[in-house]
């Protein structure tokens, strides 16, 4: 007898639907085989735990017995957690675009029994609303199309397959020149909002990779337009309602241009990227605002996101059936919670109004308006900190949103890297220790030999890892190697890269497929270079491979990095605004600065030189501490360099040339303020960058 089969799953999102009268199946060969045997089309519904409209559609339609009976009669229904199966989500989001739908979540796709899409939608209401037809009518109409109109269905599926070929199988190669990255940064800057930062238009996402392109543009050229746009973005996000001023952490995106009204879900991946870029910006000018946001966000991670030593995926936007309820305040609630403190000052600074600045008389706390009118004393800051803690204590008594506590490998790896870099920059050894514990925990739960799994929950790991998992685990391992010098991290990174090269590399066009060659086949095998919510593996790998070449001198890594650049450079002219991570990796290759410190890690003078490096905003650096008895690879530009007069000594190497020795930390810090030089991608085995 057919029934809902989601009760055997571990995904919190799938488990939210286990009691639906819909006879949901998880994605897999069995569900597809059942559809083929029954001759029925497939209803594919894709969502995730923190998705507001996913919950709405669940409550309206999937929990409704009449709607469920119609679904069960006409379709084989399959439910997918897009965070657990991003491979499935990416394919069918692209299919939705091909069918004239903008995509998004919940994604509602109708497929042939072979998994071929022939109709798409997103949220569909139970009753006619927002100009959308009712879900039940769509169900009957779409089932009739499959049964009665096989030729149009076949034409539609063929058109989608052709789009897949154009997206992922065509030649995307091209040429670059030394001026490319400056031209790309200018192009991206022209797309940014000069007043509030971020890409123009709404909704506004953090798009951290593009902010980093602008930040690097300033460091590279000194052009103030770049730093203005980068700081405008980081300042407005840090002061706006997209930031949780009470509990720390950033929401997924803003629904308005000023970053005031967030979509209240919080994602681990977004916060990892924001910790990293805020740390990079703080290293340049020691902004107290950026320091506070990094510290508060990490406090939130420690308080609300830990799963053992690893990190949960997300926190829902909804609580008690209402989006944002957990985070909103009426003026009366503020007055009650802050009674006995200077509450009027708090309300003035955080934009609290009697009528509210959001729905139903409630307020989103923010510091956007007026942004520059508050000169806060140390006493002010101490009072505000106390008041925020009082509000947090009050909020913790509310019904909290659902936490999706699955451990996602690539998201966790990004947080490991961000925590490690922040811990080193801010001299917070406890943050670096958090990073190493999380990394080791990941090795225990998602690693098996040279293969990774994508997610873990309740002692079950599934599915096999994707290119993003390997790329970000390798990058995290290399950052830990850079900061701690332990060879095991380097060996791990090399192991992940070996797997990528063996099982993911596209032998025809270059670059890495998203799925391995031994994964269960889907109707397409994506090979992507565009960033989405996550930095794309093919962008990330440009930097990762270059790092490995700088460390090991192995030309295999240099050649692969150059092949990566060649494989996708043709897209830089067409859609650079979608390629922030790739552009940043390209700059790393062209301006990579190897900082070699020869000296014992236990020597305080070595530590002083290291701290001089970590005190600078250097996104293109590779720092290596070389013990006096160690030798670099023979083809390394610093091969044979030693300490001067027995004192720990730094050498700056770029484009196969090294600086004179530097033993004074202050001098090293001053030299590192100079802008880098650019050249073509790595072209010889002499450490060229």
Question: Is residue 679's pLDDT more than 60?
Answer: no
Quote the CA–CA distance of 639 and 637 in Å, as a whole number: 6
Predicted TM-score of the model (pTM): 0.95
CATH code that applies to domain 6-168: 3.40.30.10
Domains 6-168 and 406-588 share a fold: no
Which of 474, 528, 462 lies closest to 501 in space, CA to CA?
A: 474
| Beta bridge partner(s), residue 461 | 456
User: Positive or negative, the Cα torsion across 91, 96, 102, 108?
Assistant: negative
pLDDT band at 486 (very low <50, low <70, confident <90, very high): very high
Alpha-carbon gap, residue 631 to 640, rounded angstroms: 7
Task: Name the token pair of 290.
Answer: 């950026």
What does DSSP say about strands 460-461 and 407-408: parallel, antiparallel, or unpaired?
A: unpaired
Q: How many CA atoms lie within 13 A of 615 on its CB side?
A: 15
Place of tokens 């700059």: 587
CA–CA distance, 416 with 414 (Å, rounded to integer): 5
Question: What is the tens place of the pLDDT at every residue in 367-378?
Answer: 997 655 567 888
pLDDT (mean) for 380-390: 95
- Give the pLDDT band (50/70/90) at residue 529: very high
The SS3 of residue 166 is helix
pLDDT at 681 over 60: no
Q: Check residue 628 and give left, alpha or beta (phi > 0: left; psi -120 to 50: alpha).
A: alpha
Looking up tokens 């799938």 gives 14
User: What class is the 592-671 domain?
Assistant: alpha beta
**Could you write out the DSSP letters of every residue in 234-253?**
HHHHHHSTTB-TTT--B-SE
Going by C-alpha positions, the residue among 118, 220, 105 that lies closest to residue 161 is: 118
In 191-326, which ranges are continuous DSSP H helix?
Answer: 208-221, 224-239, 268-285, 288-304
With 80 as the cut, is the pLDDT of residue 542 above it?
yes
3-state secondary structure at position 327: helix
Q: Is the pLDDT of residue 598 over 80?
A: yes
Joined together, the tokens standing for residue 249 give 């952490």
Quote the mean pLDDT of the chain.
94
Q: Answer whether 136's CB lies under 8 Å from 67's CB.
A: yes
Q: What is the pLDDT of residue 674?
A: 66
Cis amide bond preceding 463, omega within 30:
yes
Report the pLDDT value the prediction gives residue 258, as an integer from 0 to 100.
Answer: 95
- pLDDT recorded at residue 685: 31
* Helix 208-221 vs helix 180-190: crossing angle, to nearest 10: 130
- Are residues 17 and 24 in contact, defined by beta-carbon separation less than 8 angstroms? yes
Domain ranges of the chain: 6-168, 190-276+313-404, 406-588, 592-671
The pairs formed by 518-521 with CB atoms below 8 angstroms and a separation of 24 or more are 519/87, 519/463, 519/464, 520/28, 520/29
Q: What length is written for the chain? A: 689
Q: Note the CATH number of domain 406-588.
A: 1.50.10.20
pLDDT of 553 higher than 50:
yes
Q: How high is the pLDDT of residue 684?
A: 38
Give one word for 119, left, alpha or beta, with left for phi > 0 and alpha for psi -120 to 50: beta
Query: For residue 625, is it left (φ>0), alpha (ψ between -120 and 50) or beta?
Result: beta
Percent of the chain's residues with pLDDT above 70: 97
CA atoms lying within 13 Å on the CB side of residue 46: 27
Whether 250 and 266 have beta carbons less than 8 Å apart is answered as yes
Tens digits of per-residue pLDDT, 122-163?
999 999 887 789 999 999 999 999 999 999 999 999 999 999
pLDDT at 446 over 80: yes
Cα torsion through 683, 685, 687, 689, rounded to 10: 10
CA–CA–CA angle 678, 684, 688 (5° rounding): 35
Q: What is the pLDDT of residue 434?
A: 98
**Residue corresponding to tokens 């490690």:** 420
Residue 593 forms beta bridges with which residues?
621
Query: Where is average pLDDT lowest: 129-133, 155-159, 471-475, 661-665?
Result: 129-133
How far from the centroid of its chain's Cα atoms is residue 234's Cα?
Answer: 16
Tokens of 82: 């897009």
Closest CA to 305 of 199, 227, 228, 408: 408
Cis, bond preceding 106 (omega within 30 deg of 0): yes
Tokens of 8: 């055997």
Q: pLDDT by residue (tens digit) across 219-247? A: 999 999 999 999 999 999 999 999 999 99
Beta pairing, strands 253-254 & 407-408? unpaired
Mean pLDDT of 167-190: 92
3-state DSSP assignment of residue 410: helix
Q: What is the mean pLDDT of residues 655-675?
A: 92
């Amino acid at each position: 007898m057919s029934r809902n089969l989601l009760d055997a799953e571990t995904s919190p999102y799938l488990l939210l639907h286990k009691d639906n009268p819909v006879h949901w199946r998880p994605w897999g060969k069995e569900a597809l085989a059942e559809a083929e045997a029954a001759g029925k089309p497939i209803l594919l519904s894709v969502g995730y735990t923190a998705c507001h409209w996913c919950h709405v559609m669940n409550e309206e339609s999937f929990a409704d017995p009449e709607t469920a009976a119609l679904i069960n009669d006409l379709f084989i229904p399959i439910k997918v957690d897009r965070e657990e199966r991003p491979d499935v989500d990416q394919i069918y989001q692209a299919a939705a675009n091909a069918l004239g739908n903008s995509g998004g979540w919940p994604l509602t796709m109708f497929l042939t029994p072979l998994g071929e899409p022939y109709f798409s939608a997103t949220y569909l209401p139970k009753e006619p609303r927002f100009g959308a037809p009712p879900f039940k009518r769509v169900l009957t109409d779409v089932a009739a199309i499959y049964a009665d109109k096989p030729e149009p269905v076949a034409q539609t599926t063929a058109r989608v397959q052709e789009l897949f070929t154009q997206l992922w199988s065509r030649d995307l190669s091209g040429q670059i020149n030394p001026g490319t990255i400056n031209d790309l940064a200018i192009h991206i800057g022209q797309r940014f909002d000069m007043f509030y930062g971020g890409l123009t238009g709404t909704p506004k996402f953090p798009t951290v990779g593009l902010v980093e392109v602008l930040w690097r543009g300033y460091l590279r050229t000194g052009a103030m337009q770049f730093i203005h746009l980068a700081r405008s973005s980081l300042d407005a996000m840090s002061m706006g309602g997209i930031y949780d001023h009470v509990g720390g952490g950033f929401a997924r995106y803003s629904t308005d241009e000023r970053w005031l009204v967030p979509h209240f879900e919080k994602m681990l991946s977004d916060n990892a990227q924001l910790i990293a870029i805020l740390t990079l910006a703080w290293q340049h000018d020691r902004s107290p605002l950026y320091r506070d946001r990094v510290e508060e966000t990490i406090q939130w991670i420690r308080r609300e996101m830990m799963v053992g030593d690893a990190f949960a995926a997300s926190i829902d936007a909804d609580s008690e059936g209402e989006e944002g309820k957990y985070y909103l305040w009426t003026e009366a609630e503020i007055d009650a919670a802050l009674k006995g403190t200077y509450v009027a000052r708090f309300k003035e600074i955080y934009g609290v109004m009697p009528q509210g600045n959001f729905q139903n008389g409630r307020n989103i706390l923010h510091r956007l308006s007026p942004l520059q009118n508050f000169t806060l004393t140390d006493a002010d800051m101490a009072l505000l900190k106390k008041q925020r803690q009082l509000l947090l204590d009050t909020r913790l008594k509310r019904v909290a949103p659902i936490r999706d506590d699955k451990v996602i490998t690539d998201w966790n790896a990004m947080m490991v890297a961000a925590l490690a870099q922040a811990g080193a920059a801010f001299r917070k050894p406890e943050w670096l220790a958090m990073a190493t514990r999380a990394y080791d925990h990941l090795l225990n739960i998602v690693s098996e030999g040279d293969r990774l799994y994508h997610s873990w929950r309740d002692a079950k790991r599934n599915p096999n890892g994707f290119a993003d998992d390997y790329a970000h685990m390798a990058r995290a391992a290399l950052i830990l190697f850079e900061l701690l010098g332990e060879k095991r991290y380097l060996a791990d990174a090399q192991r992940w890269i070996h797997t990528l090269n063996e099982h993911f590399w596209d032998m025809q066009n270059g670059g890495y497929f998203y799925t391995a060659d031994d994964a269960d086949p889907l109707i397409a095998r994506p090979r992507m270079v565009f960033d989405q919510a996550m930095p794309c593996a093919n962008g990330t790998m440009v930097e990762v491979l270059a790092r490995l070449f700088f460390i090991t001198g192995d030309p295999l890594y240099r050649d692969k990095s150059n092949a990566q650049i060649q494989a996708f450079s043709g897209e830089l002219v067409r859609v650079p605004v979608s390629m922030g991570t790739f552009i940043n990796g390209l700059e790393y290759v062209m301006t990579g600065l190897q900082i070699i410190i020869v000296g014992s890690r236990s020597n305080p003078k070595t530590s002083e030189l290291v701290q001089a490096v970590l005190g600078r905003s250097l996104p293109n650096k590779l720092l290596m501490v070389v013990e006096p008895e160690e030798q670099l690879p023979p083809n390394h530009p610093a091969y044979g360099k030693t300490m001067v007069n027995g004192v720990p000594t730094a050498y700056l190497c770029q484009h196969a040339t090294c600086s004179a020795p530097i033993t004074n930390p202050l001098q090293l810090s001053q030299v590192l303020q100079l802008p880098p030089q650019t050249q073509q991608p790595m072209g010889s085995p002499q450490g060229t960058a």
